[in-house]
């Protein structure tokens, strides 16, 4: 697990360092999202998420950050699994240079079950979105692998994220 966290940090730092050599303006970018996910595939589990991302916006076309969140996976709203994901977030913005910024986003990391930290796995998300002023929204795909003792399950979902970027 330390290797995964080190890899996420290295990717985020490398992406930020490689783009700052182009003498572009770099500034802090924070984001807070609430998400609803509709489970699809062979294990359709719905989920609700609260994520925060902190990183750097490099120029007008790139941002990289580290995210932390709380995810609640449920099928019946009476019982569920509470997860804590840690992930790298990368966004590529279209060069509009205005108040409306469309983007492509990718999240890669690891989600741990809060009640049983040995139960967790790879987390991946990708989507299209936009930022208008401080409001941000995206639509995409989310995958959470869950495994313990050599058994692994993949839960896929269509994801709608609403939030604020500052």
pLDDT band at 19 (very low <50, low <70, confident <90, very high): very low
Contact call for residues 55 and 63 (beta carbons, < 8 A): yes
Phi, psi (degrees; rounded to nearest 5) at 153: -125, 145
pLDDT at 116: 85
Phi, psi (degrees; rounded to nearest 5) at 45: -110, 125
Quote the mean pLDDT of the chain.
87
Compute the distance between CA of residue 65 and CA of residue 55 in angstroms, rounded to an integer: 4
Rounded to two decimals, the pTM is 0.82
Topology (CATH) of 2-165 = Porin (2.40.160)
For strand 62-74 and strand 100-113, is the pairing parallel, antiparallel, or unpaired?
unpaired
Q: From 89, 81, 82, select the one nearest 124 (Cα to Cα).
A: 89
Phi, psi (degrees; rounded to nearest 5) at 3: -65, -40
Q: Which residue's entry shows tokens 């802090």?
A: 28
pLDDT band at 77 (very low <50, low <70, confident <90, very high): low
Please give the DSSP secondary-structure letter assigned to residue 1. -
């Amino acid at each position: 697990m330390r290797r995964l966290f080190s890899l996420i940090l290295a990717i985020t730092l490398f992406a930020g360092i490689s783009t700052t050599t182009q003498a572009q303006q770099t500034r802090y970018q924070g984001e807070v999202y609430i998400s609803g996910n509709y489970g699809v595939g062979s294990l359709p589990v719905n989920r609700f998420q609260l994520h925060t991302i902190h990183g750097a916006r490099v120029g007008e076309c790139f941002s990289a950050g580290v995210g932390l969140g709380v995810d609640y996976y449920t099928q019946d709203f009476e019982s569920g699994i509470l997860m804590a994901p840690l992930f790298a977030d990368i966004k590529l913005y279209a060069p509009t240079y205005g108040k409306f910024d469309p983007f492509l986003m990718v999240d890669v990391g690891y989600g741990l079950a809060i009640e049983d930290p040995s139960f967790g796995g790879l987390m991946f998300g990708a989507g299209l979105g936009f930022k208008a002023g401080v409001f941000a929204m995206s639509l995409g795909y989310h995958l959470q692998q869950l495994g313990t003792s050599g058994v692994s399950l993949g839960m896929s979902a269509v994801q709608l994220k609403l939030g604020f970027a500052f």
